[in-house]
Structure 1
């Protein structure tokens, strides 16, 4: 009898603890479908629940330790992001056929983020229209470029002002992180300024910490910064350590067997390697192929006489933890100390640069 009572108490305590962990409730009203599938979860930890809704509504309950970007999606992976605060009860209206959140109540952070979107969205639309106008015959492209430059400056000004005014809000950390991750022409100094503006909870939040990690990775592929050291194995299992190549000029080549532009560069790299290897030039090709067989087949096909490494993303020691390479091909030319002196030298540009460095 005592054992039964003890087990019951343990179960009750576990149920109570689970209930305490649920500090977020989202009630959804679906305006365009009576029933269907909805996916909901937090973007930061990529944990999502798939639920079936009926009678035009559903309820999602979960736990978040800090203000978090949430995702609502359908079974076709169309999605929209919104923001939720801990200990909040949110009411939403959504059109599931095109994943359009038409109303959100109960999330102060989402309201704040919408103000930033409201400020910047008209400028983004104007910039897009100007880019489309470039294709029109007889258009003055210099004038359009000047206007785009002014729009870019205003976007930066309003964004910086928003971060300054909301420096301690977690959504600011997410906004900065998204800006860093999506800007192909990132200004390092401006990015450092934005991160330094984050204070308190924003700085210590998940995305505040991710900003630091991402900036380190971005600097690792930027001219004027040192390339981070790594050790990975080649196709025979032999380990290669980047720092052991100090004293040589090294081209780090991020590629994959399925990447057409990567393969188009191989003849140019072969020519450069043949001309300058004996003068102190080395190539380390780092493949991000998910399938090892495809990588090995490509090595046999193209017969590239330099170091080749398969970098399995997600495994410990992966260069994806050190270098920001969201797209390939990506090449970094390092000097004899490991400093990045050039990036993305395409076609004959690599051989021309090596001639400047190694031809007496």
Structure 2
């Protein structure tokens, strides 16, 4: 009997070890007897998904097996159904219950990360629903005020209203920002920190401190290494911003050419106006992103009077550059060689820090440099009035 008991114990340990080295996704779809299920992952640029496995639905159930090197975001896509089930693929037994009428309400669990993910989503949804009601009410009460401010390009009122809306979302954003501090073993924490680094209002040092408190395996994961690289890049940017600005340039600005986001060649010469701003920036530059709303408002107000802007991005990633342009509602010409600080235009103009602005008159002569906010707007109005 002792030998049998010992054999069973060894067998159980072996099974346990095996389970940790592979995953089994057990899925069910109530009311759907047959169909095709696709296991998908994000493409390298993160802008689309690609299928990595395919199985059939039999009597409303499906099963997918394989091995995962580390936790990562994956999706379940079912033919004939709209939407994808987002979950965390990791070794272990993963249970997914698909809601065919509303795929986004599907449940996932079975492993630590997916149990956490489902709980996180439920809590966040409640907070967002609560704040959304307040936001809708606020927007309805202030619709006329916002419309009037937009009509008059009143950036002070517009920014004030936006800040009030942001405050109404504070409960849900606070929940997301604090989650990594209280869940150092959760893969969701890495994803949230990665997202926080795209927020210009978040301090890099705070993100770094929280990241350093996470479990070592998370920090060494592919997602963790990406966060490490982003933090290093942003810290380098912050250090560059503390470097004293070089002496103000003068004379005629040299012409340059660069590729737009859609691959079109655009030159400084063809972008000139009565007054022109050369705006050096990047999607990863927090101070640049913080400055963009006021520059957009100024451009919308003064473009018809002769103001032109050409942006020169020090990005290296095309998709992130495009997204920042879209998110910040930038409509003026944009160029980049996607070479970061080695961009030939930045080198040509001796740019060692961003944001950096160079203001030109109608003749292309450099008349001012590195102005921001109201000081920049006042200078542009002064030059347009001549």
Normalising by structure 2, report the TM-score: 0.54
When residues 105 and 201 of structure 1 are mapped into structure 2, their CA distance, relative to the original with a 3 A threshold, is same
Distance (whole Å) between structure 2 residues aligned to residue 115 and residue 331 of structure 1: 43
Residue among 241, 258, 261 paired with 1:256: 261
1:320 aligned to 317, 327, 341, which one? 317
| Paired residues of 1:198 and 1:208 also in contact (CA < 8 A) | no
Cα gap change, 1:212 to 1:325, in 2 (>3 Å): farther
1:25-78 deviation digits (Å, cap 9, x = unpaired) = 011111132212221144487552233323211111111122332211234772
**1:270 Cα shift?**
2.4
Q: Please give the secondary structure, in 2, of the residue aligned with 1:72.
A: strand
Q: Is the 2:359–2:369 contact (alpha carbons within 8 Å) kept by the matching residues of 1?
A: no
> 1:26 is matched with which residue?
25
Partner of 2:3: none
1:269 counterpart = 2:271 = yes
**Which residue number corresponds to residue 355 of structure 1?**
367
> Which ranges in structure 1 are unaligned for 5 or more consecutive residues?
1-18, 227-246, 285-305, 310-317
CA drift of 1:206 comes to 1.6
Which of 55, 60, 68 matches 2:59? 55
1:206 aligns with 2:222: yes
For the structure 1 residues 110 and 152, does the alpha-carbon distance in structure 2 shift closer, same or farther, using more than 3 Å as the test? same
> Alignment RMSD, CA only?
5.2
How is 1:116-195 mapped onto 2 (pairs within 5 angstroms)? Answer: 116-137=120-141, 148-180=165-197, 183=199, 187-195=203-211
Cα distance 1:322–1:149, how it changes in 2: closer, same or farther (>3 A)?
closer
Using a 3 Å threshold, how does the CA distance of structure 1 residues 213 and 47 change in structure 2: closer, same or farther?
A: farther
* CA separation of 1:193 and 1:126: change in aligned 2, threshold 3 A: farther
- 319-328 vs 172-181, which deviates more? 319-328
- Is the CA contact 1:214–1:324 (under 8 Å) kept in the aligned structure 2? no
In the aligned structure 2, how far is the partner of 1:340 from the partner of 1:212? 22
Whole-angstrom CA distance in 2 between matches of 1:89 and 1:188: 36
In 1, Cα distance between equivalents of 2:320 and 2:170: 28
- Offset of residue 93 of structure 1: 1.4
Structure 2 gap ranges (5+): 1-17, 45-49, 147-156, 242-248, 282-309, 337-344, 371-378, 380-386
CA distance in 2: counterparts of 1:155 and 1:97, whole angstroms = 26
**What's 1:79 paired with?**
84
Deviation digits for residues 100-121 of structure 1 (CA, Å, limit 9, x no counterpart): 4533341221122333333333
The answer to whether 1:93 aligns with 2:97 is yes
Pair 1:207–1:323, CA change in 2 (3 A):
same
Contact (CA 8 Å) 1:170, 1:201: kept in 2 or not? no
Q: Distance in 1 between matches of 2:240 and 2:31?
A: 52
Name the residue aligned to 2:153. Answer: none
Give the count of matched residue pairs. Answer: 279
